[in-house]
Amino acid sequence: MKRLLLIVSLILVTLPAFRSVADTAETHQLTQHEKIEAAEEEQAESKNLDVKEIIFHHLGDGYGWEVPFSHVYRIPLPVIVRAEDGKWFCFSSDKLTEVIVTENEETGKKEEHLVPVIHSVVRDGKEYLFYIPHLSENKNKVVELFPLTDAQQAEVNAMLIAEAKSKGTDLHHTVLAGYTKAGDHYYREYRPLDISITKNVLALFIAAVLVTVMVMCVVRFYTRKGMKAPRKGMGFFEMLIDFIYTGVIKANLGKNAPKYAPYLLTCFFFILTMNLLGLIVIFPGGANLTGNIAITLVLAVLTFIITNVKGTKHYWKEIFWPDVPMFLKFPLPIMQMIEIFGMFTKPAALCVRLFANMMGGHMIVITLTLLIFIFAAFGAAASGGATAISIFFSCFMLLLDVLVSFIQAYVFTLLSTMFIAMSQESGHHDEVEA
Amino acid sequence: MELFTPDFGLVFWMFIAFIILFVILWKWGWPVIIKNMEERADTIDKGVEYAREAKHQLDNAREEARKYMEEASAKQAEMLRDAAKMKSQIIEEAKQQATVEAQKVMDAAKVSIEQSRKEAELQFRNEVSKFSIEIAEKMVRKQLDNDASQKALVDKMLDEIEKN
């Protein structure tokens, strides 16, 4: 219940952003006809299953958060972008999409489609256009559009035909750098500096709040009940803390443990929460956070900074003047080059390991689920069999991912601890090689 | 590939979110938990140590009590033995003393009996000698009432002295 309130309040906080822009001009909006055309195009494309597209859609980020059982309706999130002329814009992501209802000609059923629309903002007498292109270098990202004159349109068209010819692609699927097509017209596009609260960012905040709440619960327990041991959930949480603190941090860092424990514990629980949230399919979860290289990169960079900023004299000596035969380090600094290279490969490995493991897990589950739709083309028996098998394996993989979530959080913390411990060595000859 | 190129917005928010989370937990979270966990562990260790110590002491106390009991019973036995010994000794002494006393009385009695006997003997002897002298006197008086017999006697006496 508490968590729900928290999420609602979080959304309420971001709400004012949605109303910030009131005056919109109609000049560059797409016409209804263009929208329906886009919807029909999407419908035609959705008939042939684009597996790669679906997988990357699920693994990637988004400006809205899909609600269960619908591809069309999304929880709107604030888009924050800096336009080409340096002005900041903040609007709701639902301004960039619209739901178009079409009638299926074969079955007569009404079908809903989510199509991208141009969001136009007038500020200080100037019109700013924002759009999420499908056919562009910046696919599925917010871009700022600049209208072209008719002459420029023709020029772009010519360039497009040349590009399509040289690459041998279909004209409708050719991407021209720096330009995008919205409706029937071409626009010059600019990818603005984008710090939108996307699905991943919101998931990140939720994870951070969850970790804070969990830790503060334990802290409150201690301040209230003193020396009593927590039970049940809190006991489990404390056991995890103790497992990491005693088993990993204290075992590797010794007397330095209290100094680095806050960072490492925060890392562990943040990663673990993000991993596990990623496995939940619906709203508060479902974002592939730790399977996104941006997240793991920040964590790895922080470990790198701590390792090197807090490195002792001995650590730097090991890098620039290691205990090896002279010919390995003097005229040609072979060892130094290897050591310096190693300085960077260690956090890079941290970053890629977590990212690849989590992304791989998600990808396998999605692929297994997609098998159902791939086999649907081969008739009822094949699709029935594939469904049973894929559900079984998906469940198995998800359970395995729960384990992997824990293991990867643990491994990240363990390796960070070891790297920090190596940089903390003050001397003599206890060499630890990673 | 979108997945392999870190998105600036996400990096930015991740950095901010992580730093805020870290600062909050660093100030008010982890140190409190770690301190409490370690304190509790220490307390439990101390408790166990205390209990062990207490058990040890209890065992010692029991052992000591047993020792005291043993000692006491040993003393009691000894005292009983001493008492018995003393009793028999006293009886023995009393007996001895009694015997000595009795002996003394007997000896005294013996001496007095002897003395009385000797006195009686002496008295008897004196009586006997007196009687015998009287008898002898009477006899001698009877025999020597004529001169001839007196003269025969003196002769005989003289003969005897000559022979010697």
ipTM of the assembly? 0.84
> What's the whole-number average pLDDT of chain B?
88
Residue of A nearest to B41 (CA): A227
Is B5 an interface residue toward A (CB < 8 Å)?
Answer: yes
Predicted pLDDT of residue A18? 44
Chain B residues inside the 8 Å CB shell of A77: none
pLDDT at B66 over 60: yes
Q: Bin A254: left if φ > 0, else alpha if -120 < ψ < 50, else beta.
A: left
pLDDT confidence bin for A16, thresholds 50/70/90? very low
Q: What pLDDT, on the 0 to 100 scale, is given for residue A434?
A: 41
Of A393 and A47, more confident = A393
Give the pLDDT band of residue A1 (cuts 50, 70, 90).
Answer: low
Distance CA A415, CA A413 (A): 6
Arithmetic mean of pLDDT, A74-103: 85
- N-term to C-term CA, chain A: 45
Residue A9: per-residue pLDDT: 56
Q: Is the pLDDT of residue A19 over 50?
A: no
Reported for B34-39, long-range contacts at CB under 8 A and 24+ positions apart, including other chains, are: B34/A241, B34/A245, B34/A258, B34/A261, B36/A222, B36/A227, B37/A238, B37/A241, B37/A242, B37/A245, B39/A227
The residue-averaged pLDDT of A125-150 equals 83
> Given CB atoms, is A214 within the 8 Å cutoff of chain B?
no
Q: Give the residue, A320 or A263, on which the prediction is more confident.
A: A263
Asked whether residue B128 is domain-assigned, the answer is no
> How many contacts (CB atoms, under 8 Å) link A and B?
116
Give the number of domains in chain B. Answer: 1
Residue A91, phi then psi, degrees to nearest 5? -150, 165
Please state the rounded mean pLDDT for residues A129-158: 83
Does the structure show a pLDDT above 90 at B132? no
Cβ of A227 within 8 Å of Cβ of B21? The answer is no
Query: How high does pLDDT run on average in chain A?
Result: 82
Q: Flag whether pLDDT at A222 surpasses 80.
A: yes
pLDDT interval class at A158 (50, 70, 90):
confident
Helical pair B8-24 and A257-279, crossing angle rounded to 10 deg: 130
Considering only the beta carbons, identify the residue of B3, B32, B39 that sits closest to A56. B3
> Ranked by mean pLDDT, which of A32-36, A153-157, A173-177 comes out on top?
A153-157
Q: What average pLDDT does range B135-145 have in this prediction?
A: 80
For the residues A198-203, what does the mean pLDDT come to?
Answer: 89
Residue B160 lies in a domain: no
- Assess if residue B147 is contained within a domain: no
pLDDT at B75: 95
Q: Is the pLDDT of residue B7 over 80?
A: yes
Q: Residue A2: its pLDDT value, please?
A: 56
Q: What is the pLDDT of residue A198?
A: 87
**For residue B36, is it within any domain?**
yes
Q: Residue B21 belongs to what domain range?
A: 8-118
B4 touches chain A (CB under 8 A): yes
B20 touches chain A (CB under 8 A): yes
Is pLDDT at A47 greater than 70 in this prediction? no
pLDDT reported for residue A266: 92
For A171, which DSSP code? Answer: G
Token pair belonging to B108: 């005294």
For chain A, the structural domain boundaries read: 16-194, 199-433
Of all residues in chain A, the percent with pLDDT exceeding 90 is 16
Phi and psi at A23, nearest 5°, equal -85, 110
> What is the pLDDT averaged over residues A197-206?
90
Q: What is the nearest CA distance from A10 to chain B, expressed in angstroms? A: 14
> In whole angstroms, what is the distance from residue A136 CA to residue A144 CA?
12
What is the model's pLDDT at position A404? 92
Tell me the average pLDDT across A270-274: 92
Of the residues A59, A79, A89, A265, the best mutation for testing chain B's interface (the one with the most B CB atoms within 10 Å of its CB) is: A265
Pairwise pLDDT comparison (A427 vs A381), residue with the higher score: A381
Above 70 in pLDDT, residue A432? no
Instruction: With cut-offs at 50, 70 and 90, classify the pLDDT of residue A427.
Output: low
Q: Tell me the average pLDDT across A338-347.
A: 89
Min Cα distance A391 → chain B (Å) is 26
Alpha carbon A44 to its chain's center: 29
pLDDT digits (tens, 9 = 90+) for B68-93: 999 999 999 999 999 999 999 999 99
Query: Which of B81, B7, B20, B97 minimizes the C-alpha distance to A199?
Result: B7
Q: Read off the pLDDT of each residue in B25-31 and give the average, rounded to a whole number.
A: 89
The amino acid at A327: F
- Mean pLDDT (whole number) for A276-287: 83
Cα distances (angstroms) measured from residue A132 to each of A41, A76, A225: 16, 14, 53
B4: which chain A residues are within 8 Å (Cβ-Cβ)?
A: 293
- A227 in B contact zone (CB under 8 Å): yes
